[in-house]
Amino acid sequence: MKRRTEKKIVVVTRETRIDGLRKRFTSVDQLSFFIEKRGGRVEDYLSEDQVYKESVLRLESELQNWGRVQLLDRLYLPNFVFGPEDTVVAIGQDGLVANTLKYLTGGQPLIGVNPDPDRWDGVLLPFRSGEIGDCIGEVLSGRFHSKAVTMALARLNDGQEILAVNDFFIGQRTHTSARYFIETGGVREQHSSSGIIVSTGLGSTGWLKSLIQGAASIAALTGHGATEPRPVVLPWDAESLYFTVREPFPSRQTQCDLVFGEVTREQPLRIRSLMADNGVLFSDGIESDFLEFNSGTEAEITIAPAKGLLVVR
């Protein structure tokens, strides 16, 4: 088979639910018992697995006509070095696209492929396995439609950095209270809370939206606020972020005024940990992708210098 180009196409894949369970159980009977005991149907797990792997094979076969294809499991993303000319395809759910995008710091275009449209809506997955040909041809030729995505950057005082495509969580690994100093716009407070969420434009319809809705509903039901909250929805390429503090607790030492606000390049968010242990800063809901955030650690959160590039129709 003769390829149309010698360019590299990296296809990012993920485990299915049943792949993970197969590592834990030695027999099909054990696996089935575990799933069904928790109200699931093993047939649904098997069907999802089959559809996903067939979609990956179909995608790989199509892409091999266009370039050199390399499959990459999402587990290896943190250590993989993408070339500046690579084209990247993520086939999975929206979370896989977000997780992949933050490792593409060289501006490589990312194509999101929905492997199972009957199962996943796929806001970030505009393409299907069987229709990737026209899209990949446009991308490889440099003529394609795209959207820029603003990412958040957290930089610690020891030099470590981490990016977020959707949001950061800063707080305790456990359900105990997070303790820290928070500062922005010349205002500084000491807090005891359930942690801080910092959201990008892409993530503003996710975790941030649910926090605002929950706070507004509680306030309305207790007579402290309006029934309908003001939506905070940013464009994907917005030059700002929003932070919100979860469940701040007022006391003699802690305050609760600095609980929501905007973050820009000119006005970053600074947090200094007061937690002896179990303090973490993780991104995009992936708890395994974290930096330790214990006493003495300071974080500055701002807008990342580079933007992600998502291919769209």
Q: Looking up tokens 């981490």, which residue turns up? A: 162
Predicted confidence at residue 172, as pLDDT, reads 96
* Domain boundaries, given as residue ranges, for the chain: 8-144, 152-304
Highest mean pLDDT among 119-128, 214-223, 264-273: 264-273
Residues 28-81 pLDDT 10s = 788 888 999 889 999 999 999 999 999 999 999 999 999 999 999 999 998 999
Q: Domain 8-144, CATH 3.40.50 — does that match?
A: yes
Output the pTM of the full model.
Answer: 0.88
Residues 201-238 pLDDT 10s = 999 988 898 998 888 888 888 887 666 667 788 999 99
| 90 compared with 32, residue with greater pLDDT | 90
H-type alpha helices, the chain: 17-22, 28-37, 42-63, 94-101, 132-140, 207-221
Output the CA angle 128-106-286, nearest 5 degrees.
65
| 134 compared with 80, residue with greater pLDDT | 80
Residues in the chain: 313
Q: Looking up tokens 């559809």, which residue turns up? A: 51
Among 78, 107, 21, which Cα is nearest to 283's? 78
CA 282 centroid distance within chain:
10
Count other Cβ atoms within 10 Å, centred on residue 220: 14
Predicted confidence at residue 144, as pLDDT, reads 92
Q: Looking up tokens 């922005």, which residue turns up? A: 184
Pick one of 2.40.50.100, 2.102.10.10, 3.40.50.720, 2.60.200.30 as the CATH number of 152-304.
2.60.200.30
